Amino acid sequence: MFENIVCGYGDTMVLRGVSGRVSPGRVLGILGRNGVGKTTLLRALAGFLPLASGTVLWAGHDLRGVRPHRRLTMGIAYAPQEEVVFAELSVQENLWLHLPERQGERYAPLLAQFPRLAERMGQRAGSLSGGERKLLSFTRTLGLCAELSLLDEPTEGVQPENIERMATLLRHRCHEARATFIVVEQNLSFLMGVADDVLVLDHGDCVLQGPVASFGREALEAHLVV
């Protein structure tokens, strides 16, 4: 799906030839210490960061030069790590912003898992707590029903009981809708619970890759220690 990606900011290349693949109905977890290129990779896949070299392939299409909004219409959704909601809009407006129609059943099963969001539909999104904003971003992204969703640190600041619900929803979407996810996450328990495969980055290079089941927790934890 992505091959030999080289990209960065200005003259500084953060990623140096990173490749990976994820199949329909599976989750690829991206793991590594802070600052090793995880968010850079997701921004490149979402189209917010141009490639210096390499390719991103999706549904038989080369995505080089394809803008983020066009990638969304092609079935690729993106939930960033920061600036996850439109702060001045209401919770409800955040949910419907990217959709041409307002069919309530789209979000009903998601909001049933996160009743606090359902209670705050008219509230300004910027007034939510950090964890609640993450839940709103997660709910909006899953509600898009994209074939591929890119999630950057989705559980950051989220309460444990809601993290478990997020994991359940994600697994259900994979199994029932054959949806595909690429998830950057520091919460190793969450990642090991949802990911089928893992790609570990260190200083812009892929240092470990394969099925999660083939690695022990200690082997993965070693790549999170500073």
**Does the residue 167 lie in any domain?**
yes
Note whether residue 60 is domain-resident.
no
| HEC-encoded secondary structure of the chain | CEEEEEEEECCEEEEEEEEECCCCCCEEEEECCCCCCHHHHHHHHHCCCCCCEEEEEECCEECCCCCHHHHHHCCEEEECCCCCCCCCCEHHHHHHCCCCCCCHHHCHHHHHHCHHHHHCCCCEHHHCCHHHHHHHHHHHHHHCCCCEEEEECCCCCCCHHHHHHHHHHHHHHHHHHCCEEEEECCCHHHHHHHCCEEEEEECCEEEEEEEHHHCCHHHHHCCCCC
**Residue 205's domain spans which residues?**
23-39+67-221
Number of domains in the chain: 1
Is residue 18, in this structure, part of any structural domain at all? no
Evaluate whether residue 143 is within a structural domain.
Answer: yes
User: Is 11 within the bounds of a domain?
Assistant: no
Kind of pairing between the strands at 197-202 and 27-31: parallel
Answer whether 29's CB lies under 8 Å from 191's CB.
yes
The CATH number given to whatever domain includes residue 77 is: 3.40.50.300
Within a domain: residue 2?
A: no
Tell me the pLDDT of the chain (226 aa) as tens digits.
Answer: 899 999 999 888 999 999 999 999 999 999 998 889 999 999 999 999 999 999 999 988 899 889 999 999 999 999 999 888 999 999 999 998 877 777 667 888 999 999 999 999 999 999 999 999 999 999 999 999 999 999 999 999 999 999 999 999 999 999 989 999 999 999 999 999 999 999 999 989 999 999 999 998 898 988 887 6
Residue 200 in contact with residue 209, Cβ under 8 Å? yes
Instruction: List the one residue out of 8, 15, 56, 62 whose CA is nearest residue 182.
Output: 56
Whether 79 maps to a domain, the answer reads yes
* Residue 198 lies inside a defined structural domain of this protein: yes
Q: Among 163, 128, 141, which Cα is nearest to 72's?
A: 141
Q: What confidence score (pLDDT) does residue 226 get?
A: 62
- Confidence (pLDDT) at 156: 94
